[in-house]
Amino acid sequence: MRAFNRHLKFVLTASAAALFLTVPTVGRADDSVTRLLDGLGQAEPAEAKQIERELELIWSRSGSSSMDLLLRKGRDALQGGDPQAAIGHLSALIDHAPDFAEGWHIRASAFYQLEEFGQAQSDLMQALALNPQHFQAAFGLAALMEQTGRIDAAYDGYRAVLSVYPAHEQAQAGRDRLAPLVSGSDT
Q: Does residue 187 lie within any of the structural domains?
A: no
pLDDT at 11 over 80: no
Q: Does residue 113 lie within any of the structural domains?
A: yes
Of the pLDDT bands very low, low, confident and very high (cuts 50, 70, 90), residue 30 is confident
Q: Does residue 18 lie within any of the structural domains?
A: yes
Q: Does residue 186 lie within any of the structural domains?
A: no
CA gap 82, 125 in Å, rounded:
23
Per-residue model confidence as pLDDT tens digits over 59-81: 999 999 999 999 999 999 999 99
Domain that holds residue 90: 2-181
pTM above 0.75, yes or no: yes
Q: How many domains does the chain have?
A: 1
Q: Does residue 63 lie within any of the structural domains?
A: yes
Per-residue model confidence as pLDDT tens digits over 93-141: 999 999 999 999 999 999 999 999 999 999 999 999 999 999 999 999 9
Q: Give the pLDDT score at 56.
A: 96
Q: Does residue 148 lie within any of the structural domains?
A: yes
Q: Give the pLDDT score at 81.
A: 98
Nearest to 166 by CA among 15, 6, 37, 28: 37
Q: For residue 145, give the CATH number of its domain.
A: 1.25.40.10
CB burial string 52-78: b at 16+ within 10 A, e below: bebbeeebbebeeeebbebbebbbebb
- Least confident stretch, 10-14, 33-37, 53-57: 10-14
Per-residue model confidence as pLDDT tens digits over 129-182: 999 999 999 999 999 999 999 999 999 999 999 999 999 999 999 999 999 999
Q: Are 125 and 106 in contact (CB under 8 A)?
A: no
Q: Give the pLDDT score at 46.
A: 95
* Contacts for 144 with CB less than 8 Å, ≥ 6 apart: 112, 117, 120, 121, 124
Angle at 34 between CA 134 and CA 93, to 5 degrees: 40
Of the pLDDT bands very low, low, confident and very high (cuts 50, 70, 90), residue 8 is very low
Q: Does residue 6 lie within any of the structural domains?
A: yes
Alpha helix locations (H) across the chain? Answer: 2-21, 31-40, 45-59, 65-79, 83-96, 101-113, 117-130, 135-147, 151-164, 169-178
Q: Does residue 115 lie within any of the structural domains?
A: yes
Q: Give the pLDDT score at 131.
A: 95
